[in-house]
Amino acid sequence: MAVDMEREYSAWCERMRMVEFVLPPSYTYRGREYRFVRPSRVLVSGMGGSGIVGDIVRDTCALEGCNVDVTVVKDYRLGPLKADLAIAVSYSGNTEETVVAALDALERGIPTIAVTAGGLLSRLGVPTVTVPRAAAPRLALAQMYSAVMGVLGELGAYGLDVEKACRCMSVDAGLVGRLEELFMDGSIAVIAPTPLHGTALRVKTELNENAKRLAYVEVLPEAHHNFITAIEGERPARALVVDHGRLAEEYRARIDVTVELLEASGVEVLRVDTSRCGYVPGDVLGFLMNVGVATVRVARRLGVDPLAIRNIDRVKAHMDRVGIVRRRFPWLD
Ligand code: F6R
């Protein structure tokens, strides 16, 4: 049966409400004890549609204030990073980089929690939040976000109000239409200030995966020290500028001048104020729900299948044959 991807985005609130978890105060993994504390430094690891959860948590914490430092890890190893909590997010539970990063965190003695719908991560033997199923990992953003924020809430860092968020989350035909038109032709620059970097990245990845379109992200203020010089020579055809009423005045001023510069050089610009109701988690997820629907519609108009991710499947099959996890961690089989 064909998947109704638009319906999947619209179901985000129902799925956020279904997330349940009970965290023990401590647990043992391969003979070592891990004790949870109120976290001040959290590593959120994951790749692609699961990795973006960490970025969105970081954005919403930057704008809303969550009492924690969030570092996003999109790799096999954590490097020298220190933390008092690691949350490994993988919808399938089988993403090699995420599984290896979770084992790396455990090896370093960091209490680790899995957020997943199944797979290897769910069988690892660490506390796990099982998220409701979706037709693809990227369609499960809301429930994975709710799970990560819920964990932070359980440990006393930040309490997500799901009902309050849901009041800001619905499909807005006008916004979808404007985004759809912007996304239809040419190269797209997604521009956002640092506290909305993850949100901009999600727009790019939705364009990549759903619409099979190239896009790139530019972040302010850094883009004011390079990108704006590039547009004196070469320009993106279109730009989406992501704004929010909660941003500090320096970011608003930088957004204003960026829009002026882009428009003066002939770039078609859509500036979206994502502060629909003022509750950042709902504002951001609500905006991204509309981006999801718009990119699915663009895919249809371009005659491509928004659900299929053939090259990602191909790379995963290749890496599975290489067998990194099987060879390095034989006890997981
Ligand atoms: C597919 C998608 C991908 C996956 C990524 C990691 O919808 O969005 O970007 O999210 O390949 O896989 P998971 O999410 O299963 O860890």
Active-site residue (options: 8, 206, 209, 218): 209
Strand pairing of 26-29 and 32-35?
Answer: antiparallel
Question: Ligand 1: which of 90, 205, 206, 312 to mutate, most ligand atoms within 8 Å of CB?
Answer: 312
Q: Are residues 9 and 155 in the same domain?
A: yes
Q: Are residues 98 and 221 in the same domain?
A: no
Q: Are residues 216 and 146 in the same domain?
A: no
Model confidence pLDDT, tens digit, residues 10-46: 999 999 999 998 899 999 999 999 999 999 999 999 9
Give the residues surrounding ligand 1 with Cβ less than 6 Å away. Answer: 47-50, 90-92, 95, 98, 136-138, 209, 309, 312
Q: Are residues 50 and 150 in the same domain?
A: yes
Q: Are residues 112 and 195 in the same domain?
A: no
pLDDT of the residue at 1:
63
Q: Are residues 196 and 251 in the same domain?
A: yes
Number of domains in the chain: 2
Q: Are residues 142 and 188 in the same domain?
A: no
Nearest CA to ligand 1 atom 16: 90
Q: Are residues 263 and 316 in the same domain?
A: no
Report which ligand 1 atom has the smallest distance to the Cα of 119: 15
Low-confidence winner among 1-10, 94-103, 248-257, 297-306 (lowest mean pLDDT): 1-10
Cα of 137 vs centre of ligand 1, distance in Å, is: 5
Question: How far apart, in whole angstroms, are the C-alpha atoms of residue 79 and residue 140?
Answer: 28
Which secondary-structure segment (H or E) carries 80? none
Model confidence pLDDT, tens digit, residues 55-82: 999 999 999 988 899 999 999 999 888 9
Q: Considering the chain, what percentage of its residues have pLDDT values greater than 90?
A: 92
pLDDT of the residue at 284:
98
Question: Is residue 290 pLDDT above 70, yes or no?
Answer: yes
Q: Are residues 147 and 52 in the same domain?
A: yes
Question: How far apart, in whole angstroms, are the C-alpha atoms of residue 274 and residue 112?
Answer: 33
pLDDT of the residue at 187:
85
Phi-psi region of 46 (alpha: psi -120 to 50; beta: other; left: phi over 0): left
pLDDT of the residue at 249:
97
Confidence of residue 296 (pLDDT cuts 50, 70, 90): very high
Domain encompassing residue 119: 5-160+310-332
Q: Are residues 254 and 324 in the same domain?
A: no
Report which ligand 1 atom has the smallest distance to the Cα of 98: 16
